[in-house]
Amino acid sequence: MNRNSPHDYTESTEESLLATEDFIKYVKELNNVTNDPATTPKFVPKCDPELLMGLSYLAVKHKFAILLHVAEHVDGVLWGKELEPGCVFNTFSGLGSDISGDYSPSLLQAQRDSILCSKPLAFETQNNEKQTNSQQAFYLATLGGVQALGLEHKIGNFEIGKEFDSILINPNQQIEKSSFDVFYPRFNRRYLSKMVLSWR
């Protein structure tokens, strides 16, 4: 962030770009196939066009994602439009857990929250299409989030050739009083809804 921020949070454009490039190089040198670097420059009112353009250049040069907070609240969107009226974003939607600013690291909780938060929006706009159901929430938390990061060629589902982005559990070693559930052969939308809405 290089504008409209507290002094101890603000850095110069040059400092921000150098630190970002150092971080990206460090993560890439780890050569961990499941950890791709990304940068989050907060949102438009906190970063001027020079910084955002510099980050775009680095993203192309080093092939990493930029996760920009575009629409956290109405005032922030209006402020961004006022500061940068010609700013256009190509956005993709996915669900994730913000471990630094959220109260839960659980993607199941993120799915529940998206379902609950969509209900008032559907009611207010009288448009039921704006209401997220459990299938949509599950998609956004799996392949939707992966597509938003441009990683759908590597992870996100069980297609042959993709990395196994899951946990393998032996159901024969189930511990008494655990929250472990067995998927039955007739797994369907009803079971998916139950999983999204009730698992802990």
| pLDDT tens digits, one per residue of 115-148 | 998 999 889 999 888 889 999 999 998 888 888 8
* pTM of structure: 0.68
HSE-CB of 157 using CA atoms within 13 angstroms: 10
54-106 pLDDT, tens digit each: 999 999 999 888 887 766 778 888 888 888 877 666 667 778 776 666 677 78
Angstrom distances, CA of residue 18 to CA of 1, 57, 61: 13, 12, 14
81: number of Cβ within 10 Å:
13
Residue 42 and residue 69 in contact, taking contact as beta carbons nearer than 8 Å: yes
Q: Are 143 and 117 in contact (CB under 8 A)?
A: no
